Each structure stands twice: as C-alpha cells, then as structure tokens.
Structure 1
Amino acid sequence: MTRFAWSGRNSHRARMHATQDLVEHLQRQLTEHPRARQWVIAHSHGGNVALHAADQLRALRGRRARVTTVALATPFLHARPRTIPGWPLFIIVLFGAFLLASAAGTVMTGPRSLADTVLVAGGGAFAALIALCAAGAVLHRRSLGRGWRSRLVAAIHAPTARPGETIVIRAVGDEASGFLVAGQFVGWLSAVATRLLTSLWLWVAVIGLPQLAILVATVAGRGGRLAYGLLLHGFAPAGLLVVAVAAAMAGAAVVFGIDGPFAGLVVSCSAEPAPPGTATLLQLEPRTAATRKGLAHSSLYADDQVIRYIVSAVRPASGDEPSRDAPSGPDAET
C-alpha cells in the first residue's frame, strides 16, 4: 500500500496537475507489480483526480491497466461546452466598460445617493469578476491555444465509469455536497437570466428606445438633459443587470475552484453524486446525533461500515467484485 499526496487545492488546474502525477505514480506501481490489480481510494475531489488518472492509464496501457477507484464523498464534475454569442458578449463588454467608468467617476466625486452607492458596488463586483477571470487565465496560460476549450471540457468532465471499476461511497447530509448544490442553484438561476439577456429583441429595446427618445428630444430642442438622464437612468440599470447575471455565474463557478469563473466562460459545470456510466454505489444510512462524529463529509474515514466494505472489496479472495459479505439491499446498489 502506498500513499499519494497532492496539493488538495480547489481548482481545475490543481486537479489536472494531480491527475498527471497520479498517472505517473500508477505507472510505476504497474511496472513493479505487473499482475496486480490497483485500487485507488480517494476522498472528495481526490475521487475526480483518481477517476481521470485511471481513465488515462487505461488509454496508455489498455487491458494491462487493472485499476479500481473507490471515491469517498466525491462531487463528480460534469462539464458541457458553453458558447456565448458575439453580440451578447459585445453588450457585456460595452456595459461593463460603461459601468466601470461610471463607478470610477462616482468614487472620485464621492457617492451622494443610494443610486451612486449601488453603482460603485456594481462596478466593484464587475472588477472582481475580471480579476478572477484573469487569475484563471494565468493558471491555464500554458494550455491556451487552438482547441483549448475542448481539452478543458475533457479535463473537467468525469470519465465514464465502468462496471466493477468504480465504487462510490456517500454519507447523508454531506456538507460539501450541500455547498455545491447551492452553487448549482445559483448557476441555474444565472443560466435562466442569461437566456433572457441573449434575446436580441430585449437589447434592441434597451438600446434603441432610449436612442429614439434622445433623437425625438433633440429635434424638439431638449436633447441635452434628456440624453444625460437616459444615459444615467436607462443604460446604467441595464449594465447593472448584466453585471448581476455575470456575478451570479462567477459566484456559482467559484465553488469549483479559483479558476472556476475563467472556465465558466466556455464551460458549464455541475457537481453530481455519481459519474456518468455504471458505478457501484454505497449510500450510508442517516446517523443520529448520538452516533454522528464530526462532519459527514470527512467522517467516512472512520466509519466501520465503510472500512469493512472496502476491505471486503479489495480482499483477493473476493475477485473483481465485492464479496457477498459486503452490504446489500438499500445501502448498496449497483
């Protein structure tokens, strides 16, 4: 038995780097023990690392790579390509620049009303979003280039589980899973708002109607003050709406790592209780307050039922499948 340690940092880049290191580690183990079956027992996001490493190892060694992954309390990441059309992106950049300029001007002159305070807060949120995206771009700078979005999606999306090669063990009331679910809910709300904001007719109304009103007022000789009022009270709320949606998307992506907002520009990500494909699932029964020890997310380490199940699965006499002594019925489901 060997121990593989990685940084444990919550970022897509850290998990990608750990996957490569684990592949090299397993390669050495297979070279030293060519006929042995490798078992990788991993916790939390380590399960994503282990699943990717096992998948890459099979691609390198084919049938000679006999690896089974046991994932404890793992939030399996599912990723899909995200495409932002050109004109909504132009609108976001346009209103984002206007919002930043307006917020900077308000800070220099000093906020005088609640609207000014909201404007400054919106500008700060948009600036923070840009900073997070820039930080993610720096982390992934070496992988940027042609086809980088497809590579990023493949590196994040959990590989398809194969029967008998992936065991998922979960506890009821997992705190980390609850946090990710909350992030997914915010992401779902932002996705709904994004579909609304990508409506061409909405932005024709937002931009065209004020322009038409300014034109009419100019012809009537009252264009100056009306133009300023429409710019401040017409365009600014639209910019704040864009920033609110972008901030919600960034906030939902942050739970997947510091580079989540950057990846969120091209990848729609969610955390699920199981990987795609067929995996063996052991769902523990709820613990009472008297028997519960520590956090549900980390208590699996010391859970007797979990330990017995893993030992029975790894035991050579059991073959490739868990033995008959392993839990069955509602607790263990294939």
Structure 2
Amino acid sequence: MGKRSTRPMTGDRACVITLVHGTFARDAPWTRSDSALSTSLRRAGCQVTQFAWSGRNSHRARSDAAQGLVEHLRRQLADHPRARHWVIAHSHGGNVALHAADRLRAARGGASRVTTVALATPFLHARSRRITGWPLFIIVLFSALLVGSASVTAVAGPRSAADVALVVGGGVFAAILALCAVGAFLHRRSLRPGWRSRLIGAIHAPTARPDEVVVIRAAGDEASGLLAAGQFVGWLSAAATRLLTSLWFWTLLIGLPQLAVVVSAVTGHGGRFAINLLLYGFTAPGLAMVAVVAAMAGSAVVFGIDGPFAGLVASCSAEAAPPGTATLVQLEPRTSVTRSGLAHSSLYDDEQVIGYILSAVRPSAQS
C-alpha cells in the first residue's frame, strides 16, 4: 500500500472565500478576521482566508500578485475540492483577482469554480499600438533636440519666457524618459521576443463571464475620478497615435518652416530674419509634437510607476467594467463613509454590499 497523505481533508466546506486588498492597503482592516464582512461570511458557513500582496501601484506588482493568488487558489482548491470558491477583491485587487482566475482557468483547461466579486475596481484596458519607420525616427530626433536644447538653456540660464518654457518642457520630457527606463528595468526579465503582446495581455482585463464575475460600484466613489481620468488619457493616447502616424501632420510639421524661409528670401528680409523664422517656425510645431508624445507616454502614469513604459506599446484606459458580460451592481450614492472620509474605502463595510454578497454565496454555503 502507498504512503497515506498527511494533508488534512477539509473538503466538507461548501464555500471558501479569499479576500484581496487593493493598492497601498496591505493591512486593510476589512480583510481581517474580525471585520464586519469576514464575521458575516463565517456566520453564513463560509471559510474565509486572506491573500496579501505588495499593494504597489504598478503593472508589474499586479502581475506578480496575480501569480501569487493563483498559487493560493490552487491550494484552496486542493484542500476543498468540492467547495465553491469566491474571491472578494477591492479596488486594484479586482484586477489581480481577474487575472488570477483567468490564469487558473487556462491551466485547468477552461474549467473554473472561482467567482470574483470586484468592489469599486478600475478595470484596466490595453490596446496595442506600434509606431515604426520614419515617424519613429523623427520623434526620436525631436526628442533629442528638445532635451539637448533644454539642457543647454538651463546651464546658460533662461533669459526669456520662451527659454523657461523650453527648460520646463525638456525637464518634463526627461522625467518621462526616466520613468520609461524604470519601467524597462522592472520588466527586464520579460524583455524577450513577444514581450509586447505579453505585457499587453498582463495589463488588459480578461473577458468576464456573468456567472464568474460580479462588479459592485457605488455612485460618488472617489475611484470615479480615476475612471474619468483613465478614460480621458486613453482617448488622448489613441488620438495622439493617429496624429503621429498621419502623413499630413508630418508634411505640415516639416513643410511650414521651409516655406517660411522661402517667403523671407522672396520678400528681401535679411538672413537673420530667415534664421529666426526657421528656428521658431520649426521649433514651435516640433515642441507641440513632442508634447503629444509626452502625453502618450505620460498618460499611463496614473496606472503605476511603469505606466509610461507600458504606454510606449499600448493605449491604456481605466473602465467601470471588464470586457465581456460581468454582472454589474450599481449602488445609490453613499450617505455614510469611514473615518477616512472616503466612500471608496467604505464599500466593503456597507450593509447593503455585505447583504448582497451573503445572498450570492449563501446557496453554495448551504449546499
């Protein structure tokens, strides 16, 4: 006879729940055993566990957390093979939970016994973008000219408002380049062939199914501001991509300064006037173009420190729901908040929310 396993057989549990905190909330009180939600779930017959991750605001941190949650859920599935498993996640923890459930589903051949309840989650969407060829060359050229000119002006000392604008613009762009370098360092182990598609896949929320994903939101949640900002910068990023790949844009950008030089020569103005026209006529649209590029890269800053790096290959936005057909529960505006004064940080303590979650998990808890 083979050796008998020493793992305790606890498969009699019908409902197992994992609580996942959000960004910068590793020790979130609502995930503790004495919280209102945990207490209510245990009284309903569920086993409640917690999953802690770094809580850092970056694509890399959320991706690493999703893999850690996969391992946690695998252990729970092995210990409770006949139970119904739930993940209740708050804020960006919802993105972590969706990716974990998707990876687990893929590893199990499409089968899943895990349902995700996402509380006030800004679901991340990512669309691939690629700028190559001569547009990329000119972008790099103008970027080098901007940073170089700003550096020289800063060393020599700004003497006009235009000089100050040049230094500030160059400094902002240099900071974005530095963030891109930080993002590349964070993802250095993944920079192999196919890294673009892997990065986009790690950011983009998996397609939801109505029986596997429940989204609960409250009107007036502070996260609504992040959603609005994320949607705006996503639109701005997509618009900038269309602009930078437009032949008309580059024709005007390069042609107008040359036309200014020709006009100055025909009208008899001096060489100094022609040079000024060339410099200002070429620099002004050039700086506008670089500002657009900076907006493209900087638009992803709201998604984490490695957001600008991801913004080089993807247009990102934050949406109220994941792709697919999730079950959406929209609550009325909140009348009470936590001591912190944030509605976003009280959703998991709301009696209406707890009641809805109990009504959803109770059938499996009593089966």
Shorter-chain TM-score: what band? Answer: 0.7 to 0.9
Q: Secondary structure at the match of 2:321?
A: coil
Shift of 1:26: 0.7
Instruction: Using the TM superposition, give the Cα deviation of residue 251 of structure 1 relative to its aligned residue in structure 2, in angstroms.
Output: 3.3
| 2: CA distance, partners of 1:223 / 1:2 | 79
In the TM superposition, what is the alpha-carbon distance from 1:237 to its structure 2 partner?
1.0
Instruction: Tell me how far 1:244 sits from its aligned partner.
Output: 1.6
Q: Which residue of 2 aligns with 1:225?
A: 272
Deviation at 1:265, TM superposition (A): 0.9
What is the CA RMSD across the aligned residues, in angstroms? 2.4
**Could you say if the C-alpha distance between residues 277 and 199 of structure 1 is closer, same or farther in structure 2, counting changes exceeding 3 Å?**
closer
SS of 2:121's equivalent in the other structure is coil
Deviation at 1:76, TM superposition (A): 1.0
Q: Cα distance, 1:259 vs. partner? A: 0.8
Matching residue within 311, 315, 320 for 1:273: 320
Shift of 1:200: 1.8
Aligned structure 1 segments of 4 or more residues deviating by more than 4 angstroms: 212-224, 317-320
Alignment correspondent of 2:168 = 121
Q: Is the counterpart of residue 242 in structure 1 residue 289 in structure 2?
A: yes
The 1:282–1:206 alpha-carbon spacing in structure 2 relative to 1, beyond 3 Å, is closer
After superposition, the Cα gap between the structure-2 partners of 1:52 and 1:193, relative to the gap in structure 1 and judged at 3 Å, is closer
The aligned counterpart of 2:151 is 104
Structure 1 distance, partners of 2:210, 2:151, is: 57
Find out whether 1:304 has 2:351 as its counterpart: yes
Cα distance in 1 between the residues matched to 2:292 and 2:366 = 52
Q: 1:180 to 1:285 in 2, by over 3 A?
A: closer
Q: What is the CA-CA distance between 1:156 and the residue it aligns to?
A: 1.1
SS at structure 2 position matched to 1:252: helix
Q: Which amino acid aligns with 2:64?
A: H
Change (3 A) 1:106 1:221: same
TM-score by length of 1: 0.87
Deviation, structure 1 residue 219: 10
When normalised by structure 2's length, the TM-score is 0.80
1:323 is matched with: none
Q: Secondary structure at the match of 1:2?
A: strand
Q: 1:179 aligns with which of 226, 243, 267?
A: 226
Could you say if the C-alpha distance between residues 231 and 145 of structure 1 is closer, same or farther in structure 2, counting changes exceeding 3 Å? farther
Say which of 192, 195, 200 aligns to 2:242.
Answer: 195
Between the aligned residues of both structures, percent identity stands at: 74
Residues 111-162 of structure 1, C-alpha deviations (whole Å, 9 max, x = no match): 1111111111111111111111111111111111211111111111111112
CA distance in 2, matches of 1:156, 1:311: 30
In the alignment, which residue of structure 2 is the partner of 1:130?
177
**3-state SS of 2:108 partner:** helix
Q: Secondary structure at the match of 2:303?
A: coil
Paired position in structure 2 for 1:330: none
* Partner residue of 1:158 out of 205, 211, 229: 205
Could you tell me which residue of structure 2 aligns to residue 169 of structure 1?
216
Partner in structure 2 of residue 48 of structure 1: 95
Q: Secondary structure at the match of 1:69?
A: strand
Contact 1:312 1:318 in 2 (8 A): no
The alignment status of 1:208 with 2:255, answered yes or no, reads: yes
Count residues in correspondence. 318
Residues 183, 251 of structure 1: 8 Å contact kept: no
Gaps of 5+ in 1: 321-334
Is the CA contact (8 Å cut-off) linking 1:125 and 1:243 kept in structure 2? no
In structure 2, C-alpha distance between the alignment counterparts of 1:165 and 1:308, rounded to whole Å: 19
Contact kept in structure 1, 2:150 and 2:170, CA below 8 Å: yes
Distance 1:184 1:223, change over 3 A: farther
Q: Deviations over 1:214-246 (max 9, x none)?
A: 478789998852453134312221221022212
For residue 205 of structure 1, report the CA deviation from its aligned partner: 3.0
Structure 2 letter corresponding to 1:305: Q
The one-letter code matched in structure 2 to 1:304 is E
CA distance in 1, matches of 2:349, 2:207: 29
What does residue 72 of structure 2 align with? Answer: 25
CA deviation after TM superposition for structure 1 residue 173, in Å? 1.3
Task: Specify whether residues 249 and 180 from structure 1 end up closer, same or farther in structure 2 by C-alpha distance, changes over 3 A only.
Answer: farther
What is the CA-CA distance between 1:257 and the residue it aligns to? 0.9
